[in-house]
Amino acid sequence: MAKEKDDNYWRERLSPEEFHVCREAGTERPFSGEYWDTFEDGKYRCRCCGEVLFASESKFDAGCGWPSFDAAAEQGVVAEREDSSLGMQRTEIVCANCGCHLGHVFPDGPTATGLRYCVNSLSVKLDPENDGEGAD
C-alpha cells in the first residue's frame, strides 16, 4: 500500500461526504449515489488516488442501490478486510494502493465469479473510455 497520508491531507482534497465514506468507512444511502444506475463504458478509478479498480464490463444491476461489480479490474488492486461493525460479519473492500474504503464484497453475485463488489459511488470516479487514461 502507498505511504499513508494523514486526515488533513485527505480533508483538503475530498468533499466532506467523500471524506466520510472514503476515509471513515461511511456508507452513502442506497439509490442516492452518482453511479448506482450508470452503465457507461469506462474504468472506475479510486476517488482518492486514481488507481483503476473496476471496469464497466464487470458492472451489473444488483438491485441494491449501489454500484455492483463481479470482479476487480486486476488482481491485487482491491484489498479485503474483515469487518465486524454494526453487529455483522462482512468483508470490507478498500483500494490496495491508498486504503480508500470502497464498500463490501458479498458471495451472492449472479455471474460466474459468484461475487458482488458493492461499492459507494463516492469512493470511485468513472473515467469514460473515450477520454483516454485520465487521472494519472
Q: Which of 22, 48, 100, 118 is catalytic?
A: 118
Q: Per the annotation, does 100 bind a ligand?
A: no
Q: Per the annotation, does 98 bind a ligand?
A: yes
Is residue 118 part of the annotated active site? The answer reads yes
Place of cell 486504503: 99
Contact partners, residue 100, CB within 8 Å, separation at least 6: 22, 23, 46, 47, 48, 49, 94, 123
Residues in the chain, how many? 136
Nearest CA to 51 out of 104, 105, 94, 115 is that of 94
What one-letter code names the amino acid at 43?
K
Q: Per the annotation, does 49 bind a ligand?
A: yes
Query: How many Å apart are CA 14 and CA 122, to the nearest integer?
Result: 10
Query: How many Å apart are CA 64 and CA 5, to the nearest integer?
Result: 32
Binding-site residue ranges for Zn(2+): 46, 49, 95, 98
Binding-site residue ranges: 46, 49, 95, 98
* Residues marked as catalytic: 118
